[in-house]
Amino acid sequence: MKETTGLWKKAAAIALLAVSLSFGTVYAEDNLKTVYHVYVGDKHIGIVDDKETAEEKVQQNLDEEQAKHEDYDVELLEDVSYVPEKIFSPSHDSKETVRELEESIEVGVSAVELTVDDETAAFLPSEQEAEEAVRSYKEQYVDAEDLKETEARDENEEPEIKDKTIVDVELSKDVEQTEKIIEASDMNDIEEAVEILQNGKNKEKIHKVEDGEVLGEIASQYDLSEDKLLELNEELGEEEPLQIDQEVTVTDTEPLTEVLIKEEGIKKEKIPHETEVVETDDLLKGEKETKQEGKDGEKEVHYYKDKRNDRTTDEGTIEEKELSQPKKEIVLKGTKEIPSKGTGDFEWPAVGGTITSKQGERWGSHHKGIDIAGVSDRTIKAADNGKVIEAEKSGAYGNKVVVDHNNGYETTYAHLKSMDVKVGDTVEKGSSLGVMGTTGRSTGVHLHFEVHKNGSLENPLDHVQQ
């Protein structure tokens, strides 16, 4: 009986304890409060009672920054996260946490980063503008329409080769795009991005001094001031002479990537004609005569040209097609020697004309020759074969030519406007000595002509007839 009563009492105690525990759990849950741990990135900022208040403060900052940067999409540089927790007795300061949150968040703008070989080139506001920057860079060296046509062509499509056709355009190094959140001050526009792709960024390099180089010359070569060059080379003195092969630190730029252009085209070119010279004694030495006119041929050339930016790196011919053959030019070259000895039979020394004054007494003095004027062609001709022994200005005679015919005779030609011969020339009968004029003592355009035999003056009219 005692044993039964003990078991009953134990069961009752356990039941009472269970009821007590159940009541305690309900009471504890009713007194727990949910708070939120606020993180910026991995950094714990504090605890807030109301997550919405914190979120509103973050959004307010975003809106304010968006108003400052209307052209960009504003975002947080680091994510803000909220981790809930239930606690009995909160002891935090929500307002302080919100203040700390406001100071901790950093706002940036959405950008597309252009990189070349993992090196940042520029940041653009959008993928469209990033692609436009790359396109604009290519268009520095390729016509926009040619580039558009090239990009529209299927990869395996053979282009129709015209006068000039851009077959392919690509970059020597790929420009990659990555989405990033950056500070607004780091954003570039399209023009800046093209400038960076084209000229790169300043990098230090070593310049070896060549014979005769001075600081100013080296600075100018790299678009540096002398002060900047000295700043880069603290060991150099402004007045200190440079040594050959001395190493000087400079800054230089080079393209981050280059535009590779393949061009083909069809053009017409001349095929130069040959010239054959045939010697003949039918012509006097020094004389030439065209027997057959030459004519250039023509060919169609399919060419190629490879360029790197604005430099041609390779060019050549793919195929040539002859359109017309060239015609050889044949030139006859005289070999016949001009005899320096006269025939003794004189020719009239002018082209027509009349005698305006004969040899003899005139105006109180003796006129040594005859004067010929009234010609339409003022060419003065050698009366016979001979050698020029005088060709110069001579007092009253003006410009005078004297020809020795090597047979005792000499002839004189005076008052010439200009002379076609010089002393030592061998002349043929009828060849030009010069042009009739009025140099020296003369009353008008005419030729004064004299004949001498063995040093004695003779009457020209005894030897020449018009």
Checking 124-127 for CB contacts under 8 A at 24+ apart, the result is: 124/187, 124/188, 124/189, 124/190, 124/193, 125/71, 125/72, 125/73, 125/187, 127/177
pLDDT of residue 199: 86
Residue 344 lies in a domain: no
The boundaries of the domain holding residue 142 are 112-199
359 and 456 both lie in a single domain: yes
118 and 132 both lie in a single domain: yes
pLDDT digits (tens, 9 = 90+) for 127-171: 999 999 999 999 999 999 999 999 998 878 888 898 899 999 999
Asked if residue 253 has pLDDT above 90, the reply is: no
With cut-offs at 50, 70 and 90, classify the pLDDT of residue 29: low
pLDDT above 70: percentage of residues in the chain: 94
Residue 293 lies in a domain: yes
CATH code at position 227:
3.10.350.10
* Boundary of a domain, candidates 58, 80, 105: 105
pLDDT of residue 108: 85
The pTM of the full predicted model, rounded to 2 decimals, is 0.55
pLDDT digits (tens, 9 = 90+) for 209-251: 999 888 889 988 888 888 888 888 888 877 778 899 999 998 8
The number of domains in the chain is: 6
131 and 55 both lie in a single domain: no
362 and 439 both lie in a single domain: yes
With cut-offs at 50, 70 and 90, classify the pLDDT of residue 342: very high
CB 414 within 8 A of CB 335: no
245 and 207 both lie in a single domain: yes
370 and 446 both lie in a single domain: yes
390, two tokens: 């005088």
Asked if residue 4 has pLDDT above 70, the reply is: no
98 and 128 both lie in a single domain: no
Q: How far is Cα 98 from Cα 55, in angstroms, rounded to an integer?
A: 9
With cut-offs at 50, 70 and 90, classify the pLDDT of residue 30: low
299 and 369 both lie in a single domain: no
Residue 345 lies in a domain: no
* Boundary of a domain, candidates 67, 88, 105: 105
312 and 330 both lie in a single domain: yes
128 and 175 both lie in a single domain: yes
248 and 301 both lie in a single domain: no
Q: How far is Cα 51 from Cα 98, in angstroms, rounded to an integer?
A: 10
Closest CA to 73 of 121, 25, 110: 110
Q: How far is Cα 150 from Cα 396, in angstroms, rounded to an integer?
A: 80
Residue 342 lies in a domain: no
CB 327 within 8 A of CB 275: no
CATH code at position 278:
2.20.230.10
Residue 117 lies in a domain: yes
| Strand, helix or coil for residue 309 | coil
CATH code at position 436:
2.70.70.10
Residue 341 lies in a domain: no
Residue 185 lies in a domain: yes
Asked if residue 105 has pLDDT above 80, the reply is: yes
444, two tokens: 């008008």
* Boundary of a domain, candidates 307, 336, 365: 336
Other C-beta atoms lying within 10 Å of the C-beta of residue 441: 12
pLDDT digits (tens, 9 = 90+) for 446-465: 999 999 999 999 999 999 98
311 and 208 both lie in a single domain: no
